[in-house]
Amino acid sequence: MDAAVLSALWISVKVATCATIACIVPALAIARWLARGSSRGRSVVETLCALPLVLPPTAVGFLLLALLGVDGPLGRRGLGLDLLLTWQGAVIASAVMAFPLVLRGARTAFEEVDPRLERMGASLGLSRFAVWTRISLPLARRGLIAAAVLGFGRALGEFGATLLVAGNLPGETQTMSLLLWEDIQLGQESRAVTLVGLTALLAFVLLFAANRLTRGGRASR
Amino acid sequence: MICDVVLALDAFELQVSFETEARAIGVFGPSGAGKTSLLECIAGWRTPSRGRVEVAGRVLYDSASGVALDPRVRGVGYVPQDGLLFPHWTVERNLRAADLGRGVPADALATAIEVLELGPLLSRDVSTCSGGERQRVALGRALASNPDLLLLDEPLGALDRPLRRRILPYLVRATEAFDVPLIFVSHDPTEVQAICSEVVVVESGKLVARGNPAAVLGASERAGMDFENLLRGELELDAEGRAHLVLEGGVRVEVPSRGARRGTQALFGLRADDILLALEEPVGLSARNRLRARVERLDADGQDVLLSARCLGPSGAEGPLLRASLTVGAQRELGLVKDGPVQLVFKTQSCHPLG
């Protein structure tokens, strides 16, 4: 395996890990609210959060460019962030694309927890935080881990939005998807085959793990 | 306790209102009568359309003044029909669940473990517990949380009848040991009589009867031919080791002596169809109990008759009212009529301990 592949593998894993971590906290909070809340705004929020699933990744990348660009509200002249063409920019792009998957999985995981168990916790005097951390989260943990694994997989394969936000800088922002795209463009078929095999293997392992976790969770209930 | 709850349900409007000084109140009624909804309103799991819930002078809910305490501060110990144990915790952690909330006093936990015989289960995962064990743990968890009010929603309802009868003594002992005000929902007249000093009957969301459990649940329309009499009294042991239960009016009943301790209060069940009826005291019969009684009611239901007879003590004092089932043919043949004499005959082994 040549150095470019190893570098792309490392950047992909780094970006996907950070993107998944960045997704988890807001996804947990929103998923919990969607699963248990009764507010009318839920369907609007749910639809908004699902948009990256159906929008072309390049459209999401364009919106992120508008936000993170030099003149954007979060950019250098706005909030002062300088994330374009950096691996952190790739993290943002991957996190936005992975977020709907993590959110859906987390919502399902919370919905499968019997709400009466949470009420029972309240009747025993547990605070909302204690009910959340001692009852809801542990009972939903398998589904939540599965959601995170799927989100990680999605982030690992992210291409369009990442290319627009972070570019394709070897050793800096070049992930496996971007290297594969470059190899296809340049006709480097043998390395492309290696990359396809590697990404397919990673995807299989992640999906297998997510399925096992989800099934195991159902069987143990 | 004041319980005045109005709540719109899918099929009808739940409207139950009662005020009582009794510490153990039974809520009796068929499935779907609104009993669980009533308890959930008291626990704060549901919000009534209007009403007032007050326990020992503390208002938990009052629509008029806008009071609706959060379930966390209601001080309610709730035992639902399915126990609702936390499946990811061991038995001991379930019993200590309120440690994360309003606290578990050490003596309450120790008493719950002792009375409900939970010691051997403590390290077990709740998923490995049987139905009866799970209900004992759920009851222990509620009691160990030191509640101001205990809500028992058919805690034995998911168990079959033999198992219910085996678990009932635990329930009786636990409610006596903790002496906490309680509301006990059940559609089993025996359980309600064993635990409660007053009962309200709810049908289709409405309160249709209220009073002493034996009187209300012994009424023909609710008793049924499988009615179980409850014998509550003080145990005496004679020189030969036989156990006698002394009931009101000095009526004595010989009961199984296994585990009996002199001078203790005890509770036994006696099924209505385990009682034979005779016009005179029978001779040459193995049954040890032959009680003199007076017929008070005869309620016919098709070919079956439920006879209510007042037992009479040695001095003629009135004892408990017992119910026996017989056929219309047997009633005619014996000529049993209201206020007529009758002998109630049953075996010692027909009396089974309930507490």
With 0-12 / 13-18 / 19 or more C-beta atoms within 10 angstroms meaning exposed / middle / buried, residue A39 is exposed
Per-residue DSSP letters for B142-193? Answer: HHHT--SEEEEESTTTTS-HHHHHHHHHHHHHHHHHH---EEEEES-HHHHH
| Nearest residue, CB atoms, A125 vs list B86, B87, B98 | B98
Q: Do the Cβ atoms of A138 and B88 come within 8 Å?
A: yes
Looking at beta carbons, which residues of chain A come within 8 Å of B102? 124-125
pLDDT tens readout for residues B4-26 = 999 999 889 999 999 999 989 99
Binding-site residues on chain B for chain A (CB distance < 8 A): 43-45, 70-74, 76-78, 80, 84, 86-88, 97-98, 100-103, 141, 145
Q: In what order do the strands lie in the sheet with B24-28?
A: B67-68, B58-62, B50-55, B2-8, B13-19, B206-211, B198-203, B24-28, B182-186, B149-153, B76-79
How many domains, chain A? 1
**Helix A87-111 vs helix A42-54: crossing angle, to nearest 10:** 130
pLDDT of A79 higher than 60: yes
Q: Do the Cβ atoms of A139 and B77 come within 8 Å?
A: no
Query: Does residue A137 belong to the interface with chain B, where contact is any CB pair within 8 Å?
Result: no
Spell out the SS3 assignment of chain A. CCHHHHHHHHHHHHHHHHHHHHHHHHHHHHHHHHHHCCCCCHHHHHHHHHHHHHCCHHHHHHHHHHHHCCCCCCCCCCCCCCCCCCHHHHHHHHHHHHHHHHHHHHHHHHHCCCHHHHHHHHHCCCCHHHHHHHHHHHHHHHHHHHHHHHHHHHHHCCCHHHHHHHCCCCCCCCCHHHHHHHHHHHCCHHHHHHHHHHHHHHHHHHHHHHHHHHHHHHHCC
Give the chain B residue whose CA is nearest to the CA of A139. Answer: B88
Which residue would you say has higher pLDDT here, A218 or A151? A151
Looking at beta carbons, which residues of chain B come within 8 Å of A120? 78, 80, 84, 86
pLDDT (mean) for B104-131: 92
pLDDT tens readout for residues A155-194 = 999 999 999 999 999 999 999 999 999 999 999 999 999 9
| Nearest residue, CB atoms, B88 vs list A122, A123, A139 | A139
Determine the Cα–Cα distance for residues A57 and A216; give it in Å rounded to an integer.
33
Report the DSSP pairing between strands B149-153 and B76-79: parallel
Is residue B215 helix, strand or coil? Answer: helix
Query: Does residue A151 belong to the interface with chain B, where contact is any CB pair within 8 Å?
Result: no
Q: Do the Cβ atoms of B86 and A116 come within 8 Å?
A: no
Question: Do B156 and B188 form a contact (C-beta atoms < 8 A)?
Answer: yes
Instruction: At B147, list the tokens.
Output: 């509640």
Q: For chain B, which domains are there?
A: 2-217 (3.40.50.300), 228-353 (2.40.50.100)
pLDDT of B191 higher than 60: yes
**Helix A189-219 vs helix A137-156: crossing angle, to nearest 10:** 170
Give the pLDDT score at B220. 55
ipTM of the complex: 0.79
Is residue B60 helix, strand or coil? Answer: strand
Counted residue by residue, chain A has a size of 221
Domain that holds residue A122: 3-220
In whole angstroms, what separates CA B170 from the centre of its chain? 12
Counted residue by residue, chain B has a size of 355
Give the pLDDT score at B160. 77
Determine the Cα–Cα distance for residues B220 and A53; give it in Å rounded to an integer.
65
In whole angstroms, what separates CA A55 from the centre of its chain? 15
* Residue labelled with tokens 């005291």: B281
Give the pLDDT score at B16. 94
pLDDT of A69 higher than 80: yes
pLDDT (mean) for B254-270: 87
In whole angstroms, what separates CA A168 from the centre of its chain? 20
Q: Nearest-CA distance from B321 to chain A in Å?
A: 40
Mean pLDDT of chain B: 90
Q: Do the Cβ atoms of B77 and A123 come within 8 Å?
A: yes
pLDDT of B77 higher than 80: yes
Alpha helices by DSSP H, listed for chain B, are 35-43, 91-95, 106-115, 131-144, 161-178, 189-195, 213-217, 220-223, 328-334
Query: Does residue A134 belong to the interface with chain B, where contact is any CB pair within 8 Å?
Result: yes
Looking at beta carbons, which residues of chain B come within 8 Å of A119? 43, 45, 71
Question: Do B229 and B271 form a contact (C-beta atoms < 8 A)?
Answer: yes
Q: Do the Cβ atoms of A127 and B86 come within 8 Å?
A: no
Query: Does residue A221 belong to the interface with chain B, where contact is any CB pair within 8 Å?
Result: yes
Output the domain CATH number for residue A145: 1.10.3720.10
Instruction: At A53, list the tokens.
Output: 């699933």
Q: Nearest-CA distance from A131 to chain B in Å?
A: 9
| Nearest residue, CB atoms, B72 vs list A125, A138, A139 | A125
pLDDT (mean) for A108-120: 95
Distances (CA, A) of B320 to B159, B262, B292, B306, B311: 29, 21, 11, 16, 6
Distances (CA, A) of B215 to A127, B182, B230, B250: 44, 20, 12, 20
